[in-house]
Amino acid sequence: MVDEGASVMGYEIHNGVSEGSVLSSPLLHIEKQPEGAISGDGRMKGTYLRRLFDHPDACQALLKRLDLANGERSDNQANREREFDRLADILKTRIDINAIIALIEAGA
């Protein structure tokens, strides 16, 4: 849950331990635990969590928290799916899938 009450889902990838005074100013709270950091001057904000912008409510809340909200609601997951579909349509017209299957079956 980000501070504004929006549900958030993501995962974390990093190696090592983050340290420093900047951690006392978290970017957000998830289940009442601090996450991420904001620099002392407020110009840098970060987190290890990935895919935070995938859920529209979380995206809006995070953009608001970063002072970047413009009032438009964006569904990044839907946008990503739409672009994958567009790419698949392009590949279907340019790749001879039967030739690829024949190569695989021939052990190439």
* pLDDT 10s digits, 51-99: 877 778 777 877 787 777 776 777 777 888 999 999 999 999 999 989 9
Q: β-strands 37-38, 49-50: how paired?
A: unpaired
Q: What is the pLDDT of residue 1?
A: 42
Task: Please check whether residue 36 is in contact with residue 8, taking contact to mean a CB–CB distance below 8 angstroms.
Answer: no
Domain boundaries, the chain: 1-74, 75-108
* Percentage of the chain modeled with pLDDT above 70: 94
Alpha helices, DSSP H, located in the chain? 56-65, 76-94, 97-105
pTM of the model: 0.55
